A and B are shown apart, each in its own frame.
Chain A
Amino acid sequence: MNRDYRTVREIVGPLVLLDGAQDIKYGELVELRTISGMRHGQVLEVSGGTVLVQVFEGSSGMDLGQTVTRFLGHGLQFGVSRDIVGRVFNGLGAPIDGVAPILPEKVLDINGDPMNPYARDYPDEFIETGISAIDGLNTLVRGQKLPIFSGSGLPHAEIAAQIARQARVLSGTDEFAVVFGAMGITFEEADYFISDFRKSGAINQSVLFMNLANDPVIERIATPRFALSAAEYLAFELGMHVLVILSDMTNYCEALREISAARKEVPGRRGYPGYLYTDLATIYERAGRIKGKKGSITQLPILTMPEDDKTHPIPDLTGYITEGQIFLSRSLHQAGIYPPIDVLPSLSRLKDKGIGMGKTREDHAGLLNELFAAYARGRDARELAIVLGESALTETDRTFVKFSDQFERRFVRQGRDEDRSIEQTLSIGWELLSMLPLQELKRVSPAMVEKYMPKQTA
């Protein structure tokens, strides 16, 4: 039962208010036929016959008298089948690659239902990314959501593409897929990903959702939900291991703020709505594994921190929801270190259950803690040396400064195509530790030192 109305009363920003509508449901999808073409919207509030609609494509060129709104009786949906793999869609799930439309096997509500916490399986399968700073110190596991906290001008796209290219699980040859959701990024950045996927052959195993910088802003609110609905279908119905890359979450949050401002809601910090946390959670929490199901969803959202400020609401709230973060550092980048991952504020919360005997290697946990502590101490000492001069440091502290320099140069830094195995990563770690006096190593057990530390050549 489709219903048409020509009763638009107000247009404010991306919001349209109309009267006299009957039997309207909250969240319903709306088509708006305007003098400048067809648009889409969604019901944000319904009060008696008065309906507030958010228009995905924005309201420019719309007028009050001639706009015809049609209520479709359902929310935003995405028709899926196995054939979505290898296809390109726009931000609202319509194919844009010029190939035939999808014949859906199943139609999904893009908001999904929350995963039952009781049904979750704890993510503990190590993913080898081939990047030492991640594998060694901030280990990624299947079903984790690990964002990259970046800034403008930093090589987050390269790192995400390198992870997508190299990621593998040590055991098994299960089917994998990459789902890429572009939100408001430039054509060049999106093209970088696509051509990288093409080069590595991953393009045949990927589903792309493109909302570029010049595409409708409000559409971005739906884009990640389309991407994740596709991912859930591939993972939990078809049993694939899905890596979801979402870029850039900052643009998504700005779109959300735009709607909130247009609705004249009470703003929270920096004008972002008070429900930003809840809203982000409905995206990030769609990662995970389910007991008894083969597939998994691993999320790698990218966000650029305005002014590199991690207390900004977007990185802050993201950090509270995700299971850690990969932090990119401008000073490492300027020192010519790729990948410029600052390991100290980076964190993988799920690493403890993904490493060790049978997963990576028995010495991993101790080595990782020792490297962290030693690098932190070296950095502190280096700062002190800047203030007081190197001569003010003790002999031991000078060793730690040397250690932290070498750590950045040999452990963190690696080539854009360099794919290090976990054994290689760990043995670089041990080589670095051998620079330090033995009695300072409190976090590695003597047995591990005996077994893995390279012997000093006399």
Chain B
Amino acid sequence: MTHGEIVKVAGPLVVAKALTNPQMYELVRVGTAKLFGEIIELRGEMASIQVYEETSGVGPGEPVVQTGSLLTVELGPGLITSIYDGIQRPLDAIRAQYGDFIPRGVALPALPRDRRWHFVPSVKVGDAVVEGDIIGSVQETRAVLHQIMVPRGLAGQVVSISEHDLTVEESVAVLRTDSGEEKAVTMIQRWPVRNGRPYTRRMAPDAPLVTGQRVIDTLFPVAKGGTACVPGPFGSGKTVIQHQLAKWANADIIVYVGCGERGNEMTDVLQEFPQLKDPKTGEVLMNRTVLIANTSNMPVAAREASVFTGITIAEYFRDMGYSVALMADSTSRWAEAMREISGRLEEMPGEEGYPAYLASRVAAFYERAGRSMSLGSQPREGSLSVIGAVSPPGGDMSEPVVQATLRAVKVFWALDSRLAYARHFPAIDWLQSYSLYSNLLERFYEKELGERWSRDILEVRALLQKEAELQELVRLVGVDALSVADRLVLESAKSIREDFLQQGAFTEGDSYTSLRKQLKMLDAIMLWSHLAGKAASSGIPLDAILTMPIKVEIARSKAIPETNIAAFDTLEKSIERSFEALSEVDTTAREEYHE
């Protein structure tokens, strides 16, 4: 091990001299406390190091030990259900060994070394394999079949392979390379976090990531392999949305990165996910989840690394042929960590003190999402969707992190504090938000749900847009000045907002809605809206329409269970019947009036 010597300590930034051939982003251990750090600048014989842990008590003259490798993550069985800090140290094992608070300089392997996995080969002795090929698998949890792939840069003929219970470090197979060398393959791979994992080609997304959240799935869908951001002021429900997606999105693997946020939120996930079941497979949600928790009070440099650690793990599962979704909460804290390090490096600041490379780093991060074919002789299709929360200061959407993010992502869910105050959740503002995937996904919806879906959504958008215009007018002249038709627009839009877009994340039965039920709910609201329009134009008084008791039943259609979708047919019939009843009563009323 080669080492150098510390010359300067300023918070998380340490400068060392006399290192032997230091590389950019090389991992080093700093001081006698052996703190983890990464080289981020080289000037002559001086190297600047960002240290992932608190540097109190470290001083000039102490050694810096080089590891010779970049910051890497360990990939292999044992990732699922784990909780790691920003540089992939296992927090559960740290607690077991060191207690309730995290001491400094702790180094524990990310994947358990003593656990045995039942390896089942999928190739035979004599087969030729190349990098990225699957040679076998391990049932990691009941929900995840962990594929063991030939690591990067290795190819050859299988010399030996067999079914065995093995630890991650033991050899599962031996390959003979072209040069005649014999190489052992283990279940563990290492990958530098700042480099994306390779694939053979990228494709445009073609299927939605179904989230079970009505406002998202209908108005602002995100695609599998797509990118989305959720900016909003504090208290507007960013984290709840991220949690909802982590719970209900129809991805095979979820990677949740808590980046500089609250410790209790991670606890919430840790306590809740093992209880919740996937609505499709019935499997416990924790069995498909990897957690990265670098909370706001944990060291800032490790926070900067946490999103890369998370996305590298996500890419690894994508390469197995899974659809993976990564939630990063919050990317603003990541950007602030970059700003803090940049400030200590005394770099020339860009906007609001953020480094000039903020936008390119943000874009490069989101660009690691996508739908792609893996390496290997039989490429597999996988996808990686990335959903980032953004926490703009004061809810100001013009600040640099929001703006840099909006240039990189395709879906924008704008959270509005006014909606949040009125307890309209999810507080996604339907006028400001957008999704660039809507058109791309139309064919999928048509095939799965028929053309009603797109037609309903078109009408919903039009009604909400019209409502906003009318609200302006109401503010000036009062609601009585509106025409009957406009009053009905307001009423329909209100029904859409309250009975459809509002969704209770903590209400059982409402937390997740299947696409089919979403369509049925919309159909019912639209049916009422059409019939109401007709009724009004045939002369039925507005008050009679607005006070129809059937509206209460439409409002309660949220509570109709997924297993009883047929109840919506009954609802539609009773809507029709109640309009018929209305026109009968009223025909007589009108006649009396005319006589």
- The chain A residues found within 8 Å of chain B, CB to CB, are 23-28, 44-49, 74-75, 109, 111-123, 143, 236, 265-269, 274-275, 277-278, 281-282, 285-286, 288, 290-291, 293, 310-313, 316-317, 319-321, 323-325, 344-345, 347, 349-350, 352-353, 365, 369, 372-373, 376-377, 384, 387-388, 392-394, 439, 442
Contacts and interface: CB of A to CB of B under 8 A. Distances in A.
B296 interface: yes
Nearest to B267: A120
A344 B8 CA distance: 49
Binding site secondary structure of chain B:
mixed
B60 A116 contact: no
Given A236-B100, A320-B391, 19 more contacts: A25-B9, A25-B57, A115-B297, A117-B91, A117-B295, A118-B92, A120-B264, A266-B349, A278-B300, A288-B263, A310-B394, A311-B395, A313-B393, A316-B233, A316-B234, A317-B393, A325-B235, A376-B421, A439-B547
B541 interface: no
Contacts of B297: 114-115, 281-282, 285-286
Contact of B480 (A325, A350, A373, A392): A392
Contacts of B421: 344-345, 376
B498 to A, nearest CB: 7
7 shortest A-B CB distances, which residue pairs? A311-B394, A27-B56, A281-B296, A392-B478, A285-B297, A319-B234, A47-B8
A205 B520 CA distance: 60
Given A288-B263, A311-B394, A373-B422, A114 B298 contact: yes
A387 B475 contact: yes
A278 B394 contact: no
A127 to B, nearest CB: 15
B353 A267 contact: yes
A349 B153 CA distance: 49
A24 to B, nearest CB: 5
A114 B267 CA distance: 14
Nearest to A268: B353
Contact of B94 (A25, A116, A344, A384): A116
A345 B506 CA distance: 20
B336 interface: yes
Contact of B59 (A26, A267, A277): A26
A317 B296 CA distance: 11
B580 interface: no
B533 interface: no
26 contacts: A24-B60, A26-B9, A46-B9, A46-B10, A75-B56, A109-B56, A113-B103, A117-B267, A118-B91, A119-B99, A269-B393, A274-B339, A278-B296, A281-B297, A282-B297, A285-B295, A290-B100, A310-B394, A311-B393, A316-B234, A317-B393, A372-B422, A372-B423, A388-B477, A392-B478, A392-B479
Contact of B8 (A45, A109, A353, A442): A45
Contacts of B393: 269, 311, 313, 316-317
A324 B237 CA distance: 11
B353 A116 contact: no
A317 B300 CA distance: 16
A332 B229 CA distance: 37
A70 B445 CA distance: 73
B95 A119 contact: yes
